[in-house]
Structure 1
Amino acid sequence: MDGRQQKQVLSIARDAVHAAVQGKSCLVPQTDDPELTATCGCFVTLKNRGRLRGCIGRFTSDQPLIELVAEMAKASATEDPRFLADPIAPRELSELDVEVSVLSPLKRTDDPLSLRLGIDGIYIVSGCASGCFLPQVATETGWTAEQFLSYCCSHKAGLAADAWKDPKTQVFLFTAEVFGAAFKDL
């Protein structure tokens, strides 16, 4: 995705967050740009001065990327269960940063330690439990591959920390094109 397309995606996310926080609806612009109408997964992350304020996404989609970005941006601002008791307030909007992660398809791996820290994200599934970390989490935390997998199991999926070693546990890898900006710069 080139810089112009990234800026358009970030503007769509910003507009959706603004509308959601203010209780308004938001129209998503139409485009015939194949990059922006691709059907792929994405996550939208919102931060205020480096502090997480919302992150929601989907691994797959049957809708155009720009529509999914708007939907995930709205959900990140208003539906992330971690922040329901402390939702984003309208006064915070000018202080927010938005980051969009456009995902590659998931690929199951039989060798979870083959993941490339900072490049591969993980999605771990065991029974009804699941959890994921975007690729940038490994870079932000400085975790080793084992820590990345273990924290995802224990803190995100509610599994034992070493559940990723169990052959019944499915581990998927994916990459992401990650870009972001401060709301005030969009």
Structure 2
Amino acid sequence: MFKPYTLDEGKLLVKLARDAVSQYLRTRRIMEPPKELPEKLLKDKYGVFTTIEVFMGRNKRGELRGCIGFPQAVYNVAMGVIRSAIAAAVEDPRFEPMSPEELDKVTFEVSILSPLELLEPGNPRDYLNKIVIGRHGIVIQRGYYSGLLLPQVPVEYCWDAMEFLNEGCVKAFLPPDCWLDEDTSVLIYEAQIFREVEPNGDVVERDLMEELKVCQNAHGNKS
């Protein structure tokens, strides 16, 4: 299981994401990682995604406000969080740029990604047994097309592996069954996910396997 950071370190990363967006919306400047951060956050290199959601209540799924990141290590983790958070706030093409007034109405979630792993080509239907919902995220690639879905997405929608692959293809602007094509590459990865439970509130580490059980129970133990 991919868990490079402690909860305390995760709290620092989520606070960093919020602080980076707050400062950028006020000054239009990209902050530098604070020097007092733990050394590993300034040196480690992983893929990073920041998700911003409109807070709808503690026991309700938030409404997406922005989600952008780097599938592979481009910056150190601290700078990756800063850059991805700002991009999620003002560069997600699905939404208008955030305003400072929204900061108290949204929650921040930071996902730290393990290195991408290419599933061996062969019989594509074997992918269904290799992708574990609640553990893996996917990247679908074919030619110039590429689509990434974080591991929390199929849990939140209670998808099975086939639905996950289909939706990954759609995210890449490809036909839903493109993963069955030998010209399509399917990559998997894991993620450690930290999120605010409410705006400016406490930060927790998500347990996707436990969330999946709740989803499956609510949907009649779908598997």
Give the TM-score normalised by structure 1: 0.92
What is the number of residues matched between the two proteins? Answer: 183
What is the match of residue 24 of structure 1? Answer: 28
Query: Please, which of 54, 58, 62 is the counterpart of residue 70 of structure 2?
Result: 58
Query: Please, which of 187, 192, 207 is the counterpart of residue 172 of structure 1?
Result: 187
| 1:171 counterpart SS class | strand
Specify whether residues 185 and 32 from structure 1 end up closer, same or farther in structure 2 by C-alpha distance, changes over 3 A only.
Answer: closer
Kept in 1: contact 2:49–2:70 (CA 8 A): yes
Kept in 1: contact 2:52–2:89 (CA 8 A): yes
What is the match of residue 97 of structure 1? Answer: 107
What code does the residue aligned with 2:12 have? Q
Specify whether residues 3 and 36 from structure 1 end up closer, same or farther in structure 2 by C-alpha distance, changes over 3 A only.
Answer: farther
Shift of 1:29: 0.6
| 1:52 counterpart SS class | strand
* RMSD of aligned alpha carbons: 1.5
Query: Please, which of 116, 119, 125 is the counterpart of residue 106 of structure 1?
Result: 116
Moved segments of 4+, more than 3 Å: none
What is the match of residue 176 of structure 2? Answer: 161
| 2:43 counterpart SS class | coil
Query: Please, which of 136, 142, 159 is the counterpart of residue 152 of structure 2?
Result: 136
Kept in 2: contact 1:20–1:78 (CA 8 A): no
| Mapped partners of 1:179, 1:51: distance in 2 | 17
Q: Which moved more, 1:40-49 or 1:1-10?
A: 1-10
1:185 aligns with 2:201: yes
Residue identity (%): 37
Gaps spanning 5+ residues in structure 1: where? none
Query: Please, which of 38, 47, 52 is the counterpart of residue 44 of structure 2?
Result: 38
Shift of 1:35: 4.6
| Mapped partners of 1:158, 1:173: distance in 2 | 18
Kept in 2: contact 1:14–1:183 (CA 8 A): no
What is the match of residue 12 of structure 1? Answer: 16
**Per-residue deviation, residues 52-74 of structure 1 (Å, max 9, x unmatched):** 01101112224210011001001
| CA radius of gyration, larger in | 2
**Per-residue deviation, residues 13-35 of structure 1 (Å, max 9, x unmatched):** 00111123334322321245225
Gaps spanning 5+ residues in structure 2: where? 56-61, 121-125, 203-223
| Mapped partners of 2:194, 2:40: distance in 1 | 18
Kept in 1: contact 2:41–2:78 (CA 8 A): no
Q: Which moved more, 1:28-37 or 1:174-183?
A: 28-37
